[in-house]
């Protein structure tokens, strides 16, 4: 990955919170709990997932940068949704998601070529690099923003 591609992905990553905030703008309680299909997450659950995922991602990136070849442990997002009370109000989770994106975005802006090349091992996928991390998380929030829009449209 060259520096221009990285810069585009970093910018996309930084825009992720706003994409979600825009998708949530004016949402009603009914829409917040609407499921686009049976077994799919509601916008409320998506926001909690984004907070959990983003806080986990932030730690993963920091470990990749600060530790030599760290073991990056996977987690069961469905189990998080079941056990972490995803029916609660979204505001604190939205704030956590936003803060993690801001803090991590500032780190991404400062990485050297050597730091971009750092890697560890993910328990589920094997080799896990800083650039690979960015490829995963740059579009993550945007995909969930689209899910929120679909769920809202189905609730109308």
Cα distance between residue 51 and residue 107, in whole Å: 18
Q: Answer yes or no: are the C-beta atoms of 39 and 82 closer than 8 Å.
A: no
pLDDT tens-digit map of 24-80: 999 999 999 999 888 899 999 999 999 999 999 999 999 999 999 999 999 999 999
Instruction: State CA 62 to chain mean position distance.
Output: 15
Cα distance between residue 75 and residue 49, in whole Å: 12
- Residue 44: φ, ψ to 5°: -60, -50
Pick the CATH number of 3-155 from 3.10.180.10, 1.20.120.450, 1.20.140.10, 1.10.3720.10: 1.20.120.450
pLDDT at 156 over 70: no
- Token pair 């997932």 is found at 49
């Amino acid at each position: 990955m060259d520096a221009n591609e990285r810069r585009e992905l970093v910018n996309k990553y930084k825009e992720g919170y706003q994409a979600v905030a825009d998708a949530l703008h004016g949402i009603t309680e009914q829409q917040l709990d609407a499921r686009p299909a049976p077994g799919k997450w509601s916008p409320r659950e998506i926001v909690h997932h984004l907070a959990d995922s983003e806080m986990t991602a932030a730690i993963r990136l920091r470990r990749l940068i600060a530790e030599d070849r760290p073991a990056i442990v996977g987690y069961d997002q469905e189990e998080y949704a079941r056990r972490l009370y995803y029916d609660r109000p979204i505001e604190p989770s939205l704030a956590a998601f936003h803060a993690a994106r801001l803090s991590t975005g500032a780190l991404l802006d400062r990485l050297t070529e050597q730091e971009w090349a750092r890697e560890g091992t993910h328990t589920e996928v094997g080799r896990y690099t800083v650039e690979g991390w960015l490829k995963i998380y740059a579009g993550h929030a945007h995909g969930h923003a689209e899910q929120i829009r679909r769920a809202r449209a189905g609730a109308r």
